[in-house]
Structure 1
Amino acid sequence: MPPRRGLSATLAFLRKRTRIGFRRSSSSVVTALQMTVGAVGAYAFAEEVLGHEGPLFAATSSMIALGFSRDPRVRRVLEVAVGCTLGIAVGDILLTLFGTGLWQAALVLFVSILLARFLDSGTIFTTQLGLQSLLVVLLPAPDGGPFTRSLDAVVGGLFALVITMLVPRDPRREPKTDVRGLLGELSYVLREGAVALRESDATRAWHALVRARATHSTLEGLTTSMRSAEEVARISPAYRRHRDELGSLRQAVGFIDLAVRNSRVFSRRLTSVINHAALTDEAIEHLGQALEDAADGVDLLSRALSGRDATERSLNLRQARIELAAVADQLHPEPLHIRRLEGEGLVLLLRPLVVDLLEATGLSHEDAAAFLPRL
């Protein structure tokens, strides 16, 4: 590569990284402020009020509980406090049995990690239990006994919970962002399927399948952010009024999950149908239009579930229901001009996907299925 081109590529990379870094930092200001106040406040309380010398675990436990992880904060606080206490207990027991030394420390750490994994799958719980048991063996106990550290961890966790309750931070933001991203992917998969069908491009249909399969991590992140958001709405007085909205969003997410799973099955079957040239030109046009209309309904559903204004959300939700109901009404081989068995199977796979989307708009299963023509 010529030196000038290499320099241009390096500068472009640095500009991109700088832009991403600034965006990430600017979106983290509130969380960073919460972590700073929580850590310093917990340390000062444990030192000045409780009289503990160098209560580092008060500061660290508060930072862990308030950190950038999406795991629910109450769970993080419990993992820190219980892991810290249990780790000290395990370390003391093993210290009494085997004494101090490097091989004893290795044994304590190994046993503590396995015990933590036996008791709970949480990463923070395992880290805290292993760390505390190791420190008990390697370091002298602080004034007040080894369980002083456990009390410090509880103090830090309580400070984190208080900040969560009192500092405004809309719990709906992350799950709504995740829902918008997930529905955007589903819309893309449906539109790619329509294009693949019209161009008889099985490779493009396969790429849509790969894209649908790649949403698994997004679904997992959405589940975690929903759990965290509902927890914040439950413990924070400022956001209790959003509990019903979050409950409705959780219900919709369950049906969206089913729709995404069905889209994978549909895309895989579409690849086979294209390879076997199982549809007439007329059937291709009608089915492709149905897929595009379904994608339009998904876009409306995305705007409805991710919007902040209640009136706008209601209007988009109603319009999405109308659009998806119109798609459901077409899902019969005859109006789609489908004659062969392969095409009929494709329609049968698309029907539950559209029903799932209609249920995500708030309809019951019976009402959503009623839009489908009888086979």
Structure 2
Amino acid sequence: MRIRLDLGIASTRAWNSVPAAVQIVVAVVASYAFSHYVLGHSVPLLSITVVISSLGFGRDARPRRVFDSVVGILIGILFSEVLFTLLGSGVWQLALILFLTLIVARFTSPSAAFAAAAGIQSMMVMLLPNPDGGVLTRSVDGLVGGVIALLVTALIPRDPRAIARRDAGRLLSTLAESFDALLDGLRSGDEPAASLAVERLRRTQPLVDDWNTSLDSAISISRISPFLRRHLPALRHQARVLQGLDLAARHLRVIDRRVSFLVRDGVPRPELAELLGGIARGIEVLGASIDEPARADEAAAILAEIAPRLHPESIVPDAPVTETIIVLLARPLVVDLLVAAGRPADEARALLPEV
């Protein structure tokens, strides 16, 4: 079973990498063809390695990230070529040039990948035979590869929306599972169920971070790509939903810890379960608006119906403080979700009753 699972994960990973592989192959062929046939460089190795190193298979395919990689690589090539011309070849020259290249790269950018790319390319300059056109020929090849990598990022972009949607689905699925356990704990007074919800909610922050990275990449690529620019409004809506769900996960972690402590007495609390169940429904519809933006109004309507009831006396009259706190904690949660659904913050807060 584990082998089948590993094969399934590997197959999915390979299939999801097809667009990136196609993009890299197209860029490599274009950079090689330009350097070899147009510029006449017999072995334009660096034009190819610059493309592969700068594009890669990372989740973050933002043009800025590609640009930073290209600049780092070109710094490594040019800097090492200048030092190679001045100092010549040898073991101590190799060590000195690598050290200086890494220091200059770290001074230029805080990115560790930037410094690594610069160091790798500087070593290729030191170890490869001198090209026919002179030492600086490799800098020209690197520049060709960098320019083509940036052009391909804009003109033959990967579809970053698919990655963002998958990341959104993972977060929404985890939130739904957490709500299921939380509601079970409240309905039956089951402390282990509430504790399970706490464990599940602890997994949400890495999912939020992944979604934030992929969505930022999708927005950045869509801004410069003439083929994806029409998707910018939907992506900006998704960014608003992401912000709301990020805040919701934070609120829920606090609420769930309170609930986990509260239900240790084994007493069912159906009123609180009904309240949080309505919020869960609002989150579910808000998540569906990622693919169907019109459903954001439906989510706002669900949450707007809940907001005026968020007074302890309305939900749990004459209840102890431990239960009223749950209702009070739900107030900022509902406001943040209403904002994510498109309501102005002042309007969302105005729906809350005075406490």
- Same fold, TM exceeding 0.5? yes
Q: Encode CA deviations 1:210-241: one digit per residue, 9 max, x unaligned.
A: 22221222111112112211122111112212
> Aligned letter for 1:179?
A
Distance 1:186 1:13, change over 3 A: closer
Q: How far off its partner does 1:286 sit?
A: 0.6
Identical counterparts, % of pairs: 39
Matches within 5 A, 1:103-122: 103-122=92-111
Map of 2:113 onto structure 1? 124
Distance across 1 between alignment mates of 2:46 and 2:85: 24
The gaps in structure 2 that reach 5 residues or longer are none
Structure 2: distance between partners of 1:211 and 1:112: 45
Task: Provide Cα deviations, 1:80-128, integer angstroms capped at 9, x if missing partner.
Answer: 3321232134435655786643344334334433443343233431222
Find the partner of 1:257 among 236, 246, 252.
246
Contact conserved, 1:72 with 1:227, CA < 8 A, in 2? no
Match of 1:344, as an amino acid?
T
Alignment partners' CA distance in 1, 2:335 and 2:200: 21
**Paired residues of 1:205 and 1:270 also in contact (CA < 8 A):** yes
Say if 2:5 is the partner of 1:26.
no
Question: Residue 46 of structure 1: CA displacement?
Answer: 0.8
Tell whether 2:298 aligns with 1:313: no
Establish whether residue 66 from structure 1 lines up as the match of residue 55 from structure 2.
yes
Q: Which residue of 1 aligns with 2:352?
A: 372
The CA RMSD over aligned residues, in Å, is 2.5
Pick aligned residue for 1:272 from 261, 264, 267? 261
Whether the 8 Å CA contact 1:84–1:150 is kept in 2: the answer is no
Deviation at residue 13 of structure 1 after TM alignment: 3.2
Q: Show CA shifts across 1:59-86 (max 9, x none).
A: 2222334332122342243233321232
Deviations 1:12-44 (A, max 9, x none): 333333333333333333332222121122111
| Structure 1 residue matching 2:24: 3-state secondary structure | helix
Q: Which moved more, 1:325-334 or 1:94-103?
A: 94-103
Alignment partner of 1:268: what SS?
A: helix
2:28/2:48 contact within 8 Å kept: yes
How do residues 197-346 of structure 1 correspond to structure 2 at under 5 angstroms?
197-275=186-264, 277=265, 281=268, 284-305=269-290, 307=291, 312-314=292-294, 316-338=295-317, 339-346=319-326
Q: Give SS of 1:238's match.
A: coil
2:147 is aligned with 1:161: no
**CA distance in 1: counterparts of 2:261 and 2:102, whole angstroms:** 49
Q: Give the 3 Å change call, closer, same or farther, for CA 368–145 of structure 1 in structure 2.
A: farther
Could you say which residue in structure 1 is the equivalent of 2:64? 75
1:155-199 alpha-carbon deviations (Å, 9 max, x no partner):
223323333333375442222222232222223222321112233
State the 1:352 CA deviation: 1.0
Q: How far is 1:303 from its partner?
A: 1.0
Aligned to 2:340: 360
Name the amino acid aligned to 1:326.
Answer: E
The answer to whether the Cα contact below 8 Å between 1:71 and 1:224 also exists between their aligned partners in 2 is yes
Question: Which structure 2 residues correspond to residues 1-40 of structure 1 after superposition, within 5 A?
Answer: 12-40=1-29
- Does structure 2 conserve the Cα–Cα contact (< 8 Å) formed by 1:297 and 1:321? yes
**Segment drifting more, 343-352 vs 204-213:** 204-213
Q: Could you tell me how far apart the structure 2 residues matched to 1:42 and 1:94 are?
A: 26
The separation in 1 between residues aligned to 2:272 and 2:353, in whole angstroms, is 15
- State whether residues 155 and 227 of structure 2, in contact with CA within 8 Å, keep that contact through their aligned partners in structure 1: yes
Q: With structure 1 as the length reference, what TM-score do the two structures score?
A: 0.85
Match of 1:152 among 133, 137, 141: 141
Matched pairs, number: 354
Q: 28-37 or 163-172: which moved more?
A: 163-172
Distance 1:120 1:182, change over 3 A: same
Greater alpha carbon shift after TM alignment, 188-197 vs 73-82? 73-82
Contact persistence 2:63–2:153 (CA under 8 A): no
Aligned-partner Cα distance in 2 for 1:95–1:230: 41
Alpha-carbon distance change, 108 to 216 in structure 1, aligned in 2, over 3 angstroms:
farther
**Deviation for aligned residue 1:298:** 1.1
Cα distance change on mapping 1:145 and 1:71 into 2, 3 Å: farther
Label 1:113 to 1:201 Cα distance change in 2 as closer, same or farther (>3 A).
farther
1:3 corresponds to which residue? Answer: none
Q: Deviations over 1:219-266 (max 9, x none)?
A: 111121122111221111122122222222222322221111111122
